[in-house]
Amino acid sequence: MHDYRKVSRASRWLDVRRRKLGMWAYALNRITGIALVVYLYLHLVVLSLLLRGPGAWDSFVALARSPFYLTLDVILLAGILIHGLNGLRIALTGFGIGVGAQKALFTILMIVSAIALWVAALKIFRI
């Protein structure tokens, strides 16, 4: 007997081909969730620069104002918005609220994410 699961299970979480909107939400939540965990550790590494004194920190802050780092900030914010607002959809449906309208809920929350991200990106690049 061939266990097909072991061959393909790693790819299942992100396989959205021919799937519906809920699967896109599922995949997005996984990608953003993993990315945010990686960011958390990077953040702690960056904060550890404080241990090396004001010089090390100030030089990092100067670097963080470059367009490349500001773009990373926007990507980070996109991850937070998508994961947070999609998490709100999951929490609401988990309470039995909006179960029948979960697709509309996801669409609305992602539109809110896009608007918030656009506004935030404008502000970030105007710093």
Partner 1 sequence: MNMLKVPLQIFRYKPDQPPRYDTFTVEVPDTAHVIDAIDAAWAVHDQSLTFRRACHHSSCGSCAFRINGVEKLPCVTRVTDVWDGLTPLRLEPLRNFPIVSDLVVDVSDFFQRMSAADMTITCEAEAFLPFTVDSFAVAELEPKVVELPENFSRFNRFEQCIECGICMSACPTMAADERFLGPAGLAAIYQARNKTDDPKKVAHLLGLADGEHGVWRCHSAFECTEACPQAVDPAGKIMALRRELIARRFSKLFGK
Find tokens 């656009």 and name the residue. Answer: 118
Q: Which is nearer to partner 1, 21 or 70 (CB)?
A: 21
DSSP, collapsed to helix, strand or coil, labels residue 88 as: helix
Between residues 6 and 123, which has the closer beta carbon with respect to partner 1? 6
The least CB distance from residue 108 to partner 1, in Å, is 16
Q: How far is the CB of 36 from partner 1 (least distance, A)?
A: 16
CB half-sphere exposure, 46, CA atoms < 13 A: 13
Locate 89 and state its tokens: 């959809």
- Which residues of this protein are in contact with partner 1, per CB under 8 A? 1-5, 7-9, 12-13, 15, 17-20, 22-23, 25-26, 29, 89-90, 93-96, 99-100, 102-103
The CA-atom distances, in angstroms, between 21 and each of 5, 15, 119 are 23, 12, 25
